[in-house]
Amino acid sequence: MAGVSSVLIRAGRVIDPAAGTDLEGDVLVEGGRISAVGAGLDGDGAEVVDAAGLVVAPGFVDPHVHLCEPGWEHRETIRTGARAAAAGGYTAVCCMPDTDPVVDDPASVGFIVAEGRRAGGARVFPAAAVSAGRKGEQLTEFGEVVDAGAVAVTDAGRSVASSVLMRLALQYARSFDIPVLAHCEDADLARSGVMHEGVVSTRLGLRGKPAVAERIGVARDLALAEATGGRLHIQRVSTGAAASLIRRARRRGVRVTAEVTPHHLVLTHDVLADYGTDYKVDPPLRTPSDIEALREALADGTIDCVATDHAPRHYDEKEQAFDDAPFGAVGLETAFAVLHTRLVREGALTLAALLERLATGPARALGLEGGTLEPGRPADLVLIDPEMEWTIESAGFLSKGRNTPFDGERVMGRVVRTLVGGRTVWRLGEDA
């Protein structure tokens, strides 16, 4: 399909959450960009893709993935991760710098950009570290890494413990108009915990991470964002208390965006009753009331992004006693289906709102071009069969990681085709 410059996606249900449109019609792609959206478009020699019965939407944008390269290639590579992303309907992902070595200089940013281009899947946008080596001591060269292709800075998985450094980062990032992606947590309070501190951790005898650790971290970073005018993106919100703080900050006009993962929206700490290490994630799975609050925050836009926090782990690493197993779950290939099944079909969120949080919100948070079907924008598109029922089978993942909390789950709604720049990068049944 490479080389075809025009594509006519015909007769689908075209939803552009950015424009607020939802219509039966066509999308015409020319030169890798969207040229028109409407009914009865004239393709004139274009490759025709029949979208009857399918939803056509902007490709998803994931603001938080771990592609593990360089250094952890046994878990994932940029190539396998970018392709897994495409299989999940993602056309762009932002990968975290917690690799080995840490992505904290222009050379390593350039490596990821180059590998991402070669991968042939979703577009790969690196985030660089806030501090050299993620040590929390000295800022990285934001200007240099941005010139090399970084779209954000983050110490990924670690809160910036020093309020002095976090303030400097938010101030300095303004010069480059990039967001600081923040893991918000009081590190001292959270340090030794392996799950949510509550009745389940008490029953199991596991060390808990108290919810208040996140609340303190979020409160501090919101205060610093408000004081500096910097762009703050709060990663992986897991508690209702944090969501409330973000809602109030937004009302005050603080420049804040926020993300939540599918697993934090549908699973509670109760699933850990048998010490299943595929449920060991950071931040930990919380309580039913947190889930309620997170769903409400996602629905009202307080949380404007879904992020997978895709964190592939080798099976040897997860096949250990709970304390010893690493945190993390994969999510790229299951996010849409899980949320469509558990939120949209159960009435907690409209399909348009889900697509907005999967595509438009994250693109806006990261300052990327995608997330909309507006003519002139890159033809990053996803075709979805909302009625297709299927079973999640980790053995069939394109990701190297099999560590999903949703293995064997029956879901409804499947991405059937993903286009990046007008080119099909994944199609159901044609891969693997």
**Binding-site member from 2, 3, 52, 274 for other proteins (CB under 8 A):** 274
3-state secondary structure of 34: strand
Interaction of residue 346 with other proteins, rule CB under 8 A: no
**Binding-site member from 319, 346, 387, 393 for other proteins (CB under 8 A):** 319
Contact 428, 414 (CB under 8 A): yes
Which of 159-167, 193-201, 241-249, 331-339 is the region at the interface with other proteins (rule: CB under 8 A)? 193-201
Residue type, 185: E
**Residue 278 tokens, joined:** 């595929």
Per-residue CA distances from 228 to 163, 214, 254 (Å): 12, 21, 10
Which of 64-72, 124-132, 319-327, 402-410 is the region at the interface with other proteins (rule: CB under 8 A)? 319-327
Binding residues with other proteins: total (CB under 8 A): 21
Interaction of residue 191 with other proteins, rule CB under 8 A: no
Contact 151, 367 (CB under 8 A): yes
Backbone dihedral region for residue 149 (phi beyond 0: left; psi -120 to 50: alpha; all else: beta): left
Strands (E) across 82-182 are located at 90-95, 123-128, 152-154, 180-182
Least Å from the CB of residue 275 to other proteins: 4
Interaction of residue 44 with other proteins, rule CB under 8 A: no
- How far apart (Å, rounded) are the C-alpha atoms in residues 67 and 127? 11
Least Å from the CB of residue 296 to other proteins: 24
- Identify the residue whose tokens are 């071009």: 369
Least Å from the CB of residue 408 to other proteins: 17
Interaction of residue 113 with other proteins, rule CB under 8 A: no
Helix axes 240-251 and 288-299, enclosed angle (nearest 10): 30
Interaction of residue 132 with other proteins, rule CB under 8 A: no
Interaction of residue 177 with other proteins, rule CB under 8 A: no
Interaction of residue 208 with other proteins, rule CB under 8 A: yes
Interaction of residue 199 with other proteins, rule CB under 8 A: yes
**Does the active-site annotation cover 323?**
no
- How far apart (Å, rounded) are the C-alpha atoms in residues 216 and 394? 36
**Residue 359 tokens, joined:** 């595509």
Least Å from the CB of residue 326 to other proteins: 13
Angle, vertex CA 328, rays to CA 387 and CA 413, nearest 5: 5
Q: Strands 152-154 and 123-128: what pairing?
A: parallel
**Binding-site member from 324, 387, 393, 431 for other proteins (CB under 8 A):** 324
**Residue 207 tokens, joined:** 């060390």
When the beta carbons of 198 and 422 are compared against other proteins, the nearer one is 198
Least Å from the CB of residue 324 to other proteins: 6
Interaction of residue 279 with other proteins, rule CB under 8 A: no
Interaction of residue 198 with other proteins, rule CB under 8 A: yes
Which of 113-121, 192-200, 293-301, 422-430 is the region at the interface with other proteins (rule: CB under 8 A)? 192-200
- How far apart (Å, rounded) are the C-alpha atoms in residues 37 and 33? 12
Active-site position among 309, 324, 407, 431:
309
By annotation, the residues acting in catalysis are 309
User: Interface with other proteins by CB under 8 A: which residues?
Assistant: 197-199, 201-208, 210, 274-275, 316, 319-324
